[in-house]
Amino acid sequence: MQTPAAGECHAESHEQTAPLTAAVKEPQLERQGHVLGASGWRFLLFGLIAALSGIALVVLADGWAIEIGIALVALAACPAIVGGGLLLSSVVARWSARHKLFA
């Protein structure tokens, strides 16, 4: 039995993984998706930090601090929703850059 050369094994393994990562057909759309994703993570992080501080106020404080904590959690929903929308747009843009079907 003959063993294949090292280069042949590597070439075969590369051919098997090639369909999993499609080449980017539109680099500008890929870059736009990357920018949207970066902004989306920032908004989501800001909303998460504000929500956690509001939850901490609700749990640990008493009096007016509870109402302030509830308001802070409610206001934290806005940047979190914006961040989620930007992340979703990022995924769609990066998927479209590869000309892949959605369904």
- Tell me what pLDDT residue 18 has: 44
User: Which domain covers residue 74, as residue numbers?
Assistant: 36-103
- Tell me what pLDDT residue 26 has: 87
6: in domain: no
Domain count, the chain: 1
- Tell me what pLDDT residue 86 has: 96
17: in domain: no
Backbone angles phi, psi at 3, to 5 degrees: -90, 140
Distance CA 22, CA 65 (A): 52
- Tell me what pLDDT residue 57 has: 95
95: in domain: yes
24: in domain: no
Three-state SS for 90?
helix
Task: Put residue 100 in one of left, alpha, beta given phi > 0 → left and psi -120 to 50 → alpha.
Answer: beta
29: in domain: no
For residue 84, give Cα distances in angstroms to 14, 59, 98: 35, 26, 22
- Tell me what pLDDT residue 16 has: 46
pLDDT along the chain (103 residues), means of 10: 55 46 84 94 97 96 93 96 96 90 77
67: in domain: yes
